[in-house]
Structure 1
Amino acid sequence: MSVEPAAKPMVEGIFTPAGSDGLAHLLCSRCACGAVAFPARERCAACSGTDLVVEEVPNEGTIYSWTTSPGRTVRVVAQVQFANGLMAQGHVTAEPAAVRIGQRVRTVAVPVDYADDGTPLLSYAFEPVEEAA
């Protein structure tokens, strides 16, 4: 009997597949000046300060804008606004006809590849919470 290695993020420090509440969350930096940045940074782009903390972004956000990527496989890419003021970009796990501006989405972990040792590698995506009207 073989045991599959536990999945892990493809790039560390971008998101957590299971945050403090068990849900997937992007990770951002918050500066003492109030600016937030994704991905997390060591120096604030707004004030050049270094008094930053890494925090989980709320799991749910709202689609601010979206488009499709060109190619044989059409993928939806959206800008998502979160309650903490952050705007982040990522793929949406829905067909273009099922996506709209103002739609609520949640951050999810999705498998994208395998490491040499067979460990599943994860990235983040946005999954609609509600159907497009």
Structure 2
Amino acid sequence: MSSTQRALAPEISTWPDDDPRLIGSTCGACGATTFPVQQRCPRCSAADMSQTLLPRRGTLVAWTTQGFPPGAPYKGPTGKDFVPFGVGLVQLGEGADAVVRVEGRLTENDPAKLQFGERLELTMIPFTTDEDGTEVVTFAFQPIDDKEAQA
């Protein structure tokens, strides 16, 4: 991590690790997994939640393009500086290891270039720049190169 970068929400990921992962929670009573971390299980209401690192890879379930700046508490670019961005629902993990669906930015903003079931991987991307010049990064999901996916 450069001293000129910071995470938008440092508590939700292991960034600046080389291979950052999102931090979720798993219920000790029923096994449900959540993102972000929750104190009580949304499935069974137990207060037996423990932090867990979520899989870095998953599959695209649904997507759209955010064509205008979101409402508050959005702190990113607006006006002429706003660039439409892809938003997707990603099923993290595969098969029996599919643990949770996470909504997040996509590195691709053209919905025609995305497809149901496409494999994606977590990455960190620039979001905005603070008043002091510090680059603020956030998590996003990027398509996995076909050659890399088969490795």
Q: Which moved more, 1:65-74 or 1:99-108?
A: 65-74
Runs of 5+ consecutive residues of structure 2 not aligned to the other structure: 69-81, 147-151
Deviation at 1:18, TM superposition (A): 4.0
Deviation at 1:14, TM superposition (A): 1.6
> RMSD in angstroms over aligned alpha carbons?
2.0
Q: What is the match of residue 7 of structure 2?
A: 9
Q: What is the match of residue 85 of structure 2?
A: 75
Partner AA of 1:46 in structure 2 = R
Q: What is the match of residue 128 of structure 1?
A: 143
Superposition pairs for residues 1-133 of structure 1, below 5 Å? 5-19=3-17, 22-32=18-28, 33-71=30-68, 73-83=83-93, 84-94=98-108, 95-130=110-145
Deviation at 1:87, TM superposition (A): 0.1
1:23 alignment partner, SS class: coil
Deviation at 1:59, TM superposition (A): 0.7
Equivalent pairs counted in the alignment come to: 126
2:10 alignment partner, SS class: coil
1:112/1:73 Cα in 2 relative to 1: closer, same or farther (>3 Å)?
closer
Partner AA of 2:127 in structure 1 = V
Deviation at 1:92, TM superposition (A): 0.9
Runs of 5+ consecutive residues of structure 1 not aligned to the other structure: none
Partner AA of 2:122 in structure 1 = T
1:16 alignment partner, SS class: coil
Deviation at 1:111, TM superposition (A): 1.6
Runs in 1 of length 4+ with deviation above 6 angstroms?
none
**TM-score, normalized by length of structure 1?**
0.82
2:11 alignment partner, SS class: coil
CA offsets per residue over residues 67-118 of structure 1, 9 Å max, x none? 1223374322110001242000111111323211110010001121234443
1:124 alignment partner, SS class: strand
Query: Identity of aligned pairs, percent?
Result: 29
More relative contact order, 1 or 2 (CA 8 Å, 6+ apart): 1
1:5/1:91 Cα in 2 relative to 1: closer, same or farther (>3 Å)?
same
**TM-score, normalized by length of structure 2?**
0.73
